[in-house]
Amino acid sequence: MKTCLRYVATAVLAAAAAWLLVFVAPPAHATVAQPPAMPPQALIVQDAVALRAAPREAAAQQARLWQGELVEIRGERLEYVQVWDHQRERGGYVRASQLRRLSLDAAHADELLAVLRFVKDSAGSEGLGFGYGAAWLQAASPAQLSGPVGAEVLDAVAGAAQRLAQRASAAGLSRSAQEALMGQLDAAGRYGIRFNSHERGDRMQICYDGELFTRVLAMPATSAEQRARAALALTDPACEDPALGVLQRIQRQEDSASLLDQADAPGLPPVLKNRLQIRRASVWSAVAFERSRGAPGAAHAATAAERALEALARVDPQGLPDTDASLMNDAVMRVNASRWAAVPASMPSKGLQLRTSPGAQAGQTCASLHGGAVGSAPLWTQCSHGVVWPASFSVNREGNAAALAVQPMAGWRELWLLRKQAGGWTLSVLPPAPTLPGIGYAELAGWVPGGRQVLVAREARGEGKYQRRYEVLDLATLAPQRQASDPSVLGAFQRWQMPQWKQQSVSLR
């Protein structure tokens, strides 16, 4: 058991084998020799530290060291410390003010922990978190490693890795900032901390692979807050590999939903609880979409949609900081896009009716409009690879227009408007926004009597822009006659919005 715990402790230090001692148990008949003392170690605490050939400012620079790198101390001279860099296999001199000596014995474990607690949430000090966290893991006892403090340290190191990845993914960094971050990422890699990178549009998304978060979840001493943070980190949609296949993506969503449900616990701080509920709502809405497409082995989509709505309802607006407003808006759009999965379809007994059937291509659904006569030819037919939500079908009082919700992808739902014209019924597709598909919805909010106007609600985020608006559209041209970001200022919305829309939509908030 002690050997296993020590393995867990040194997992973070796997890539720093040059300064770790490896002991092999000798045969029973052999003489047991005392292992050699570990040479003194030091942690580089600044970026772009010059490793010089001599203890002088004018001496040639051998290399540049970055915050978080470990070096072995070989001696001291003047204001410099002579060090050896095992990774580069090169020695030199570093100013004493640019490094901190580390004591890796059990007597100094509390000191190492105190420093780690001081720097763990400081932006720009991630390298110090890696170094002091690794040093504590080496100095701690097996009981400490498996206890609450061990979970705290792994959580701190994992959080620093996630924060470093987020900083490295930020746009608009200067060349010097990019160089410093690349140096810190390289230093983190020497502790066995791994990062993945994916192309997201015109930029690179760097993500921590989450190994330590997984270890945190596996430890019995982990607190509810630590489990929630780990679950949020492991289910970050920005870090989903875009190269995943369809079945892999579906399985990841199902696993993420289960993980987030397990992390939901009473007593969490309001901000953390809200973030957990927002993420649960987003993930369950994606699960509802995939299940509605007939994902292999998936349960009914209605259950997932109800879970998404329930999670969104549990978000407390009083505990929502300004920095999380965009997360909340995105969750609302994702949930609203899939909410029709929770509504059972009910076809009208007379008048215009909608019928759906499988299309000629795999995964295709065909929607057709029929009159009241049984067995009559369809008035209009259209096939789509998106999810057609029959429960959303609505016809205006005059019978010259109908609306249908169609969702081509998770988090993006379009409004199909059918209009009766001289040549028959025609289809117009209203997207959430005139941008490349991101996340959003366009939905019917009501019919204005007279058959000339329709009420539409739209909300979307795409191409770096966010917008929410409520529109009164001319049915003949679909041009907006009036629009506003608040429906209460539009008289038509006050008089003619459908009660079902007001009750079921999460657009009004």
**Averaged over 225-229, what is the pLDDT?**
97
**pLDDT beyond 80 at 94:** yes
Question: Which residues, at least 6 apart from 499, have a Cβ–Cβ distance to it below 8 Å?
Answer: none
- Rounded average pLDDT over 127-144: 95
Maximum Cα–Cα distance across the chain: 101
Query: Are 325 and 443 in the same domain?
Result: no
Q: How far is CA 375 from the centre of its chain?
A: 49
Cα(first)–Cα(last) distance of the chain, in Å? 54
Token pair, residue 278, equals 């927002």
The torsion angles phi and psi of 357, rounded to 5 degrees, stand at -155, 155
Q: Residue 496 falls within a domain, yes or no?
A: yes
Q: How many CA atoms are closer than 13 Å to the CA of 82, on its beta-carbon side?
A: 8
Q: What is the pLDDT of residue 32?
A: 40
Is residue 349 pLDDT above 80, yes or no?
Answer: no
Within-domain flag for 157: no
Residues 404 and 494 in one domain: yes
- Minimum mean pLDDT among 323-337, 348-362, 433-447: which range? 348-362
d(C-alpha 339, C-alpha 353), whole Å: 22
Quick one: pLDDT at residue 24? 25
**Strand 401-409 to 61-65 pairing:** unpaired
Amino acid at 170: A
Domain tally for the chain? 2
CA-atom Rg of the chain in angstroms? 30
The two three-digit tokens of residue 308, written as one number: 């998404």
Q: Specify whether the CB–CB gap between 66 and 45 falls below 8 A.
A: no
Whether the Cβ atoms of residue 366 and residue 359 lie closer than 8 Å to each other? yes
User: What value does the mean pLDDT take over residues 354-380?
Assistant: 88
Task: State the pLDDT at residue 363.
Answer: 87
- Give the 3-state secondary structure of residue 72: strand
Average pLDDT over residues 428-443: 94
Written as one letter, the residue type at 225 is E
- Secondary structure of the chain: what % helix, strand, coil (to 5)? 40, 25, 35
- Residue 7 pLDDT > 60: no
Q: Residue type at 305?
A: A
Question: Is residue 294, in this structure, part of any structural domain at all?
Answer: yes
CA distance 202 to 207: 16
- Specify whether 490 is located in the same domain as 384: yes
Give the residue numbers spanning the domain of 389: 359-370+378-504
What phi-psi label fits residue 169: left (phi over 0), alpha (psi between -120 and 50 degrees) or beta? alpha
CA 160 vs CA 187, 229, 317: distances in Å: 13, 12, 28
pLDDT digits (tens, 9 = 90+) for 386-417: 999 999 999 999 999 999 999 999 999 999 99
Q: Do 270 and 317 belong together in one domain?
A: yes
d(CA 340, CA 461): 20
* Residues 461, 366 within the same domain: yes
Mean pLDDT value across residues 225-235: 97
503 dihedral zone (left: phi>0; alpha: psi -120 to 50; beta):
alpha
Q: Is 76 a member of any domain?
A: no
408 domain residue, yes or no? yes
Question: What SS3 class is residue 370?
Answer: strand
User: Is the sign of the CA dihedral 360, 363, 368, 374 positive or negative?
Assistant: positive
Between the alpha carbon of residue 248 and those of residues 230, 255, 295, 393, 457, the distances in Å are: 21, 10, 11, 32, 34
Can you give the pLDDT at residue 36?
57
321 shares a domain with 416: no
Q: Which pair of tokens denotes residue 485?
A: 């970001």
Residues 383 and 323 placed together within one structural domain of the fold:
no
Q: How many helices (H) and strands (E) does the chain have?
A: 14, 20
Dist. CA 315–CA 318, nearest whole Å = 9
Do 364 and 326 lie in one domain? The reply is: no
Name the pLDDT band for 207 (thresholds 50, 70, 90).
very high
Sign of CA dihedral 102, 107, 111, 112: positive
Strand 401-409 versus strand 412-421 pairing type: antiparallel
Instruction: Inform me whether the pLDDT recorded for 486 exceeds 70.
Output: yes
User: Are residues 430 and 484 part of one domain?
Assistant: yes
Tokens 């629009």 sit on residue: 483
pLDDT the model gives residue 21: 29
C-alpha 373/C-alpha 378 separation (Å) is 10
For residue 29, being part of any structural domain is answered with no
pLDDT of residue 295: 60
Rounded Cα gap, residues 57 and 98, in angstroms: 13
Q: What does the pLDDT look like over 474-485, one tens digit per residue? A: 999 999 999 999
User: 326 with 366, same domain?
Assistant: no
Confidence of residue 299 (pLDDT cuts 50, 70, 90): low
* Burial zone of 432 (CB within 10 Å; 0-12 exposed, 13-18 middle, 19+ buried): buried
* Token pair for 249: 């993506």
- For residue 232, being part of any structural domain is answered with no
pLDDT of 251-286, one tens digit each? 999 999 999 999 999 999 999 999 999 999 999 999
What is the spatial distance between Cα 11 and Cα 193, in angstroms, rounded to a whole number? Answer: 9
Identify whether residues 425 and 493 lie together within a single domain: yes
- Quick one: 460 and 330 in the same domain? no
In a domain, 115, yes or no: no
Q: How far apart are CA 300 and CA 84, in angstroms?
A: 61
- Residue 244's SS3 state is coil
